Structure 1
């Protein structure tokens, strides 16, 4: 294993910054720390970006629509951002959504689900499933094709995408694809990658423990399939999936375990472990060449999943 030189330079820059004391910081403080100007590239230019508000289980939910083709009925990708269920926003993952919209020729609907600890599990799950249902019902009104919907997300958002796909298998029409970028799939956190990369690789053991305390109301919640989708005993019938993991990521092993479990259940899965990379790397455009490459792979998987049917304008 060799850490990518660009990733190492970024980690060195992070190490030179003041460390966060996760034993004492609260969620508003941490969000304020993370709200500075982004050091990463803004992503691809697209033809139209639109903010909307839709009904949600706990009140209105903000969504953001991205499209690069006007006057065309597009397949839809419902995207859930990462951030440990505590941080992250429509803005923090704007660059990923732009790139997917442009490169996959899809209408991307990014969902601003409620965050913890103000809203603990399963609030985010309920928001994700409600947003997916709204998109399906209103696809025509937003210029999308209700027969070609995929879910996507990174980290915590990958967890929500996986959980929403399990829910949709049982309660909704078939999805076309799941795009899971280094997803959280099991809150047990008892893996070799957690032990090997617990400190010094951007996402740390201390950070994940803090996220866990904010998101899960109690220890038994980790056993709930809506929190830990890897624990499902039946993964058959799920939409085909693309799973992207990072070699130096504590979440690597659980993401790959979920890919293997889906394959064992008969689901078509493409698994890509990105060599030398760290958690969150797909967001790090302009700093890591691998980010651009991974988003190209992700967009290609979505294009292929949507290509089985062409919708007339």
Structure 2
């Protein structure tokens, strides 16, 4: 690690993390321009593609003629913030690596509490299976992935599809980036940090019971066949690292093919910090994994 990287991480660790919804939304909006500098060259970017009324996505198309493997990407933001715009560069980096990337603008809490966001993500996966060919995407080679809240929604969407025995194009890989997979355990470990986001997402009615619902805490739904081959990525400086360890243990117990990559001293959100060498290294691991399983 370079001295410049050390100083950056030191400053990042010293910055207060907002836990209220207005603060989180403002913080993501402030950092988005920094995260999205130097956008990569790709074939095309189609913004605000309508999937259904009230649900859109940005579609990043690789250069070339395809057919392209497909990634449905679910952004992070604590279920209450973020959008395809905050994760634009990351979506375009997937496209630069050759993946047709559908960056989903799912509904956010508290305006739209559970299960609205999850329903949007499940619909988007089905939509991608039926419509990716519009941009020469091959839905037989489709992955679903996301970071933080998007990691939660990835696992919840895929286990939900498995539970309903969905007959359409089935995702062949999962990308689980520093996600939350067990609400009760996370809320107990990080008291006060995630309470507001969790309450906003799950809603007030039957809060304790819903946090144990497998659609909210998908760790409970992982069994043989519940997830496709999966890659788990996190950093040792991330408060959610125990969640990644927990889902790796569940994947092992269910005998689901997986890889796990834990990066020393890396914080939450590092996959969007292009100034860190491990950002590029982790992205390469993900791209190589997808090429190996799709």
| Larger relative contact order, structure 1 or 2 (CA cutoff 8 Å, min sep 6) | 1
Q: Which has the higher helix share?
A: 2
1:61 corresponds to? 55
Aligned to 1:175: 171
Q: Structure 2 vs 1, CA of residues 282 and 300 (structure 1 numbering), >3 Å: closer, same or farther? A: same
Q: Distance in 2 between matches of 1:252 and 1:11?
A: 17
* In structure 2, C-alpha distance between the alignment counterparts of 1:16 and 1:278, rounded to whole Å: 12
- 2:75 counterpart of 1:92: no
The RMSD of aligned alpha carbons is 2.4
C-alpha displacement at 1:7, in angstroms?
A: 5.8
State the partner residue of 1:78: 72
Which of 173, 193, 206 is equivalent to 1:207?
Answer: 193
Q: How many residues align?
A: 286
Deviation at residue 213 of structure 1 after TM alignment: 1.9
Matches of 2:2 and 2:208 in 1, distance apart?
36
Change (3 A) 1:260 1:21: closer
Alpha-carbon separation, structure 2, partners of 1:36 and 1:233:
36
* Distance across 2 between alignment mates of 1:273 and 1:66: 28
Aligned residue runs from structure 1 range 10-25, under 5 A:
10-14=8-12, 19=16, 22=19, 25=20
Q: 1:268 to 1:290 in 2, by over 3 A?
A: same
1:154: how far off? 0.6
Quick check: 2:272–2:279 contact (8 Å CA) kept in 1?
Answer: yes
Q: Note the alpha carbon deviations across 1:208-244, whole angstroms, 9 max, x for none.
A: 2221122111222111111111112634352101111
Q: Is the 8 A contact 2:143 2:172 kept in 1?
A: yes
| Partner deviation per Cα, 1:247-303 (whole Å, 9 max, x = no partner) | 1212111122112212211210111111111111111112x1111111111111111
> Are residues 1:267 and 2:256 paired?
yes
Q: Distance in 1 between matches of 2:127 and 2:119?
A: 12
Q: Is the 8 A contact 2:45 2:60 kept in 1?
A: yes
Report the counterpart of residue 277 of structure 2 in structure 1.
289
Distance (Å, rounded) in 2 between the aligned partners of 1:90 and 1:295: 18
1:235/1:261 contact within 8 Å kept:
no
Q: What's the CA shift for 1:130? A: 0.5
For structure 1, list consecutive stretches of 5 or more residues without a partner in the other structure: 199-204, 307-313
TM-score after normalising by structure 2? 0.88
Deviation at residue 6 of structure 1 after TM alignment: 5.6
Q: Label 1:276 to 1:73 Cα distance change in 2 as closer, same or farther (>3 A).
A: same
